[in-house]
């Protein structure tokens, strides 16, 4: 027993206790909000049990990855890439989704749903970080061949997610992670300009041939609601406009009705009447706004921003290219999901199905978030390279 406590004490002293505390507080806060949203639902207890189970698994992975050397994991980047691609491809054969969203993003295993795109974010970050670090060490980072190699890996994962799961929201998060890691890795701005020009050039092709009318409507809704069309008729009509904006409009009403302190946990009029679809997942922030008010919303943002800043801090302090890139990728993942989720809850950004890290219901998301932060904790625990140590 003494040996166990000594091990725990040693871990608490060496691991990133700040990330562990911030993530645990956020996950518990999220479960409280989910429990309130589902207060009058028969599935309330089941979903809370799933969240608790996911948190336990996530904490185990946090500890495990804290002790694993990210360099050793990254040395297997080829296998990680193969795993990532195959894991997403399984959706083609055994994937399940939701008719109204048009995606095919989940696998059902032993009664539990697993979202490959959430899990693969972690492996994707490590693969891209390893490629960038290798090219930087060889001083070939900004050559045409290296740019093509790195871009092809991104396009493979991005394309599989869009093509097989139709999960545009997750794909865009991957895109943001990729851009941030390229910038931190030292890719010259001219390459960003070239790629940006190519994206602009092919945008009409993507818009007209790869996006469904429903996806187009979701993108246009916050900016140009007058252009929303009926998928069946291809014509603009007021019914379709109300349907597309229904979630975000009601989310804004719920948040603004909460005022400074909110209507009270479990007392939100709109939350308890369940008028906002997926409020326990994509729109959990609106529940915090209505029931806990401005204070509850600021607390969520503060906790997530603290996690992002801590990841960046650990990356900088690591004095290691791979460590910096991995930490930057994890920070970018949290930033992209936080910004997009809160933005769509406030009616400022398109509703594209992005979860709020640690707060939205979803076991895959919580497990992936804890695992990612565990890797960051492991980077913090690793000794600095000899050339960076001070005498």
Strand-by-strand arrangement of the 112-114 sheet? 95-98, 103-109, 112-114
**Residue whose C-alpha is closest to residue 156's, from 216, 209, 78, 64:** 78
pTM, two decimals, is 0.89
Task: State the Cα–Cα distance between residues 120 and 368, nearest whole angstrom.
Answer: 8
**Residue whose C-alpha is closest to residue 325's, from 195, 187, 199, 171:** 187
Q: Determine which of 13-17, 212-216, 329-333, 368-372 has the lowest per-residue pLDDT on average.
A: 212-216
Question: What number is the average pLDDT over the span 4-20?
Answer: 78
Element (H, E) at 98: strand 95-98
Residue 244: which pLDDT band, with cuts at 50, 70 and 90? low
The answer, yes or no, to whether residue 96 has pLDDT greater than 70, is no
Residue 382: which pLDDT band, with cuts at 50, 70 and 90? confident
Task: State the Cα–Cα distance between residues 114 and 388, nearest whole angstrom.
Answer: 41
* Burial of 382: CB neighbours in 10 Å, binned 0-12, 13-18, 19+: middle
The answer, yes or no, to whether residue 373 has pLDDT greater than 80, is yes
Q: What angle do CA 198, 340, 310 make, to 5 degrees?
A: 100
Q: List, in order, residues 6 or more apart from 219 with CB less than 8 Å away.
A: 211, 350, 352
Q: List, in order, residues 6 or more apart from 97 with CB less than 8 Å away.
A: 103, 104, 105, 106, 165, 166
Question: For residue 387, what is the DSSP state?
Answer: G
Looking at residue 62, its pLDDT comes to 94
Looking at residue 100, its pLDDT comes to 45
The answer, yes or no, to whether residue 275 has pLDDT greater than 70, is yes
Q: pLDDT: is 146 or 390 the higher one?
A: 146
Task: State the Cα–Cα distance between residues 27 and 307, nearest whole angstrom.
Answer: 12
Task: State the Cα–Cα distance between residues 40 and 280, nearest whole angstrom.
Answer: 13
Tell me the per-residue pLDDT of 150-186, one tens digit each, with 9 for 90 and over: 999 998 998 888 888 777 788 889 999 999 999 998 8
Residue 104: which pLDDT band, with cuts at 50, 70 and 90? low
Residue 292: which pLDDT band, with cuts at 50, 70 and 90? very high
Q: pLDDT: is 46 or 33 the higher one?
A: 33
What is the full DSSP assignment across 296-347? HHHHHHHHHHHHHHHHHHHHHHTT-HHHHHHHHHHHHHHHHHHHHHHHHHTT
Question: What number is the average pLDDT over the span 372-377?
Answer: 94
Residue 109: which pLDDT band, with cuts at 50, 70 and 90? low
Looking at residue 240, its pLDDT comes to 61
Tell me the per-residue pLDDT of 118-161, one tens digit each, with 9 for 90 and over: 889 999 999 999 999 999 888 888 888 889 999 999 989 988 88
What the block records as the tokens of 23 is 């993530």
What average pLDDT does the chain have?
83
Element (H, E) at 80: helix 77-89
CA distance to 135, 270, 316, 319, 367, per residue, from 132 (Å): 5, 48, 16, 15, 26
């Amino acid at each position: 027993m003494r040996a166990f406590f000594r091990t725990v004490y040693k871990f608490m002293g060496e691991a990133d206790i700040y990330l562990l505390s911030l993530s645990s507080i956020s996950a518990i806060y999220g479960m409280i909000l989910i429990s309130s949203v589902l207060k009058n639902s028969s599935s309330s207890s089941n979903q809370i049990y799933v969240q608790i189970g996911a948190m336990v698994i996530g904490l185990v992975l946090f500890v495990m990855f804290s002790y694993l050397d990210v360099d050793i994991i990254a040395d297997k980047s080829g296998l990680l890439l193969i795993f990532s691609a195959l894991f997403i491809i399984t959706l083609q054969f055994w994937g399940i989704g939701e008719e109204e969203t048009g995606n095919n993003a989940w696998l059902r295993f032993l009664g539990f749903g697993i979202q490959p795109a959430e899990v693969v974010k972690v492996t994707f970050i490590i693969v891209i970080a390893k490629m960038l670090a290798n090219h930087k060490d060889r001083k070939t980072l900004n050559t045409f061949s290296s740019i093509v190699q790195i871009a092809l890996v991104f396009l493979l994962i991005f394309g599989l997610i869009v093509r097989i799961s139709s999960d545009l929201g997750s794909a865009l998060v991957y895109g943001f992670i990729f851009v941030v890691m390229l910038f931190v890795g030292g890719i010259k701005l001219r390459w960003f300009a070239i790629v940006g020009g190519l994206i602009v050039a092919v945008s009409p092709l993507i818009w007209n041939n790869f996006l469904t009318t429903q996806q187009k409507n979701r993108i246009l809704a916050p900016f140009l609601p007058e252009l929303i069309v009926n998928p069946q008729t291809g014509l603009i009509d007021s019914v379709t406009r109300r349907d597309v904006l229904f979630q975000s409009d009601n989310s804004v009403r719920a948040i603004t009705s909460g005022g400074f302190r909110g209507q009270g946990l479990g007392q939100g009029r709109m939350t308890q009447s369940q008028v906002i679809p997926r409020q326990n997942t994509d729109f959990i922030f609106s529940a915090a706004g209505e029931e806990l008010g401005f204070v509850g919303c600021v607390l969520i943002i503060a906790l997530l921003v603290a996690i992002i800043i801590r990841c960046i801090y650990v990356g900088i302090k690591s004095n290691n290219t791979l460590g910096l890139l991995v930490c930057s990728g994890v920070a970018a993942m949290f930033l992209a999901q936080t910004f997009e989720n809160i933005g769509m809850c406030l009616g400022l950004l398109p509703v594209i199905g992005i979860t709020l890290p640690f707060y939205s219901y979803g076991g895959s998301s919580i497990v992936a978030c804890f695992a990612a932060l565990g890797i960051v904790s492991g980077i913090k625990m690793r000794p600095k390279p000899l050339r960076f140590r001070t005498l």
